[in-house]
Amino acid sequence: PRLPDTVLFEIFLYLDHADVLSVGLVCQQWRAVARDEFLWKELFYRYYRVSRDVPRHPGAVSWYDEFQRLYDTIPCVEVQALKEHNDQVLHLSFSHSGCLFASCSKDCTVKIWSNELDISLQHSSNMRPYNWSYTQFSQFNSDDSLLLVSGVFVGPHNSSSGEIAVISMENFTLLSRVRNKPYDVFGCWLNETNLISGNLHRIGRITSCSVLWLNNAFQGIESENVNVVKRLFKIQNLNASTIRTVMVADCSRYDSPDLLLDYEEQLAASSTCPVFDLGSDSEEEGAKPKLPLEPAVQELPDAGGVPAEHGLQQLFDGIMEGRVRPAMTETELETKVAELFVRNRTKPPEPNLLPTDSNSKTKYLIFTTGCLTYSPHQIGIKRILPHQMTTAGPVLGEERRSDEFFDSLDHVIDIHGHIIGMGLSPDHRYLYVNSRAWPRDCVISDPMQPPPIAEEIDLHVFDLKTMKEVKRALRAHRAYTPNEECFFIFLDVSRDFVASGAEDRHGYIWDRHYNICLAKLQHDNVVNSVAFSPVEQELLLTASDDTTIKVWRSPRAVRIRQARRPRPRKLLFSWLLNQKS
């Protein structure tokens, strides 16, 4: 008997993805309505629980294709488990070509893998001979000729610091080593041959100065102390905070991103938005609108109108006369003195630094920092100008006046929580941030005792063109370690998806446009890192404390790969059957 289409539709709401798509192929009545846009739109919103305020993906051609995309192109099928590491795997990174990827581990090796039909180990470098404790991060340079590897270095009296090594991809030789302090600065490439490292100088008990250096990748490894060739920035740290997790964003594609996350911007650009196959990474080239550039710089406020030297003198007079002593602890006094000192000892931001066209060479240096406690709770942004992107010039960079001891930040984003991960979208327009929130009305009275942090991980999204948060925070993943044991959980972003690890033994995948969680990827322990192939977003890697790297592909990619595998010839197959009988 023929069912009304609406009744049939309600039945399909309770079926799994595979049932909806496969049963529809054999059901004559379902095939008759399979291309009904209204039914697929209703099915999509109700099945995925997407708010009806959210429009269809700007590159989609139909609701049927969207439903199929979110089922068929998510890398959620485990196809391989790599077990060559013998300790916790901490980080994964792909080469820009997608042909290679690197893995770092507590076993103190960095391994280079070949991404072919079946992934295989190509090379392994042991860093223990250089007094490393473990490797923690890696990054390929823009032409994939060099690999930056960051690790924890064991110094005199078992003191821990960081070190960066540069490895040639031509013959896997070690080209240079650079000290990196603290070790969770990680380091990053600024261009093909220059990398950024950090150093930390203590000024007081809770006050310090972070210095970011530009290094040449091709210097010798025996004299690591002479590798630093140019000082980029010198930034004061208050209340035991330090600069960590540096990364570089290229501003040149801000006017032509892969995916606009603001729905109003999508609507404005819809008339010229390119249509592409959501199941692949190829796009149809088309003219893209040039949007007016909005101010992306928020100057740090001047702390009052009193000159720093006068304020400092007033503070000391108050201490001597006993007027301020009861109201200030030793920690508060150190912070107050540091704030007053830095007020007139900081180089002002450069004027007119906003990129004026899509070919701008301006880059942003992005890092975690803080102002209230040692746990990273702010994102600092500092522009790097074209003349700063080379090691040419004096060893310590441009000469500064005596009243320009520190560099100022161009923008600060406050997260109100402990930042445990950051990642850029492929076009560098959006910054994704993993954080564990503080209680809403918490007050920090001691910088060495930060507030308790939530078990839920919030995944925030910031538009680096406008410096505003553009999506509600994504949630699904969890973490359990307290503040003093909290560690970095790396995330990664592809054109349409964002993925993250978690302490709940799963990796997670969300859709960037619809803000919904699409898949949970099982491991036997904490998932520390995830990585999408930059040329094939239907391939995802996850790394875990269970010592394995898992390879995940989409259902569609699995079908295609199985179809490509050579089948045994009939004569050989018959011979094998006869031998068995």
pLDDT in tens, 144-183: 999 999 999 887 766 678 999 999 999 999 999 999 999 9
* Across 484-489, average pLDDT: 83
Predicted local distance difference test score (pLDDT) of residue 298 = 39
* Across 179-189, average pLDDT: 95
Of the candidate ranges 9-18, 323-332, 478-487, 561-570, the one whose mean pLDDT is the lowest: 9-18
Helix 63-72 to helix 17-26 angle, to the nearest 10 degrees?
120
Query: What b/e string do you get for 199-227 counting C-beta neighbours within 10 Å, with b at 16 or more?
Result: bbeeeeebbbbbbbbbbbbebeeeebeeb
More confident residue, 292 or 576: 576
Give the pLDDT band of residue 480 (cuts 50, 70, 90). Answer: confident
**CB-CB contact of 150 with 169 (8 Å):** no
CB-based contacts of 387, cutoff 8 Å, min separation 6:
none
**CB-CB contact of 395 with 211 (8 Å):** no
Predicted local distance difference test score (pLDDT) of residue 290 = 36
* Across 404-428, average pLDDT: 92
* Across 208-228, average pLDDT: 72
Predicted local distance difference test score (pLDDT) of residue 302 = 43
More confident residue, 470 or 346: 470
Indicate the SS3 state at residue 577. helix
More confident residue, 560 or 261: 560
H and E: helices and strands count for the chain: 10, 30
Give the pLDDT band of residue 3 (cuts 50, 70, 90). Answer: very low
Indicate the SS3 state at residue 51. coil
State the average pLDDT for the chain: 80
CATH of domain 77-254+360-563: 2.130.10.10
pLDDT digits (tens, 9 = 90+) for 93-143: 999 999 999 999 999 999 999 998 889 999 999 999 999 999 999 999 999
CA-to-CA distance for 566 and 569, rounded, in angstroms? 9
pLDDT digits (tens, 9 = 90+) for 35-85: 678 878 888 888 888 988 899 998 899 888 898 899 899 999 999 999 999
pTM: 0.82
CA-to-CA distance for 191 and 159, rounded, in angstroms? 31
Q: Where are the alpha helices (DSSP H) in 49-184?
A: 63-72
Top mean-pLDDT range of 144-153, 384-393, 396-405 = 144-153
Residue 245, pLDDT above cutoff 50: yes
Domain coordinates in residue numbering, the chain: 5-72, 77-254+360-563
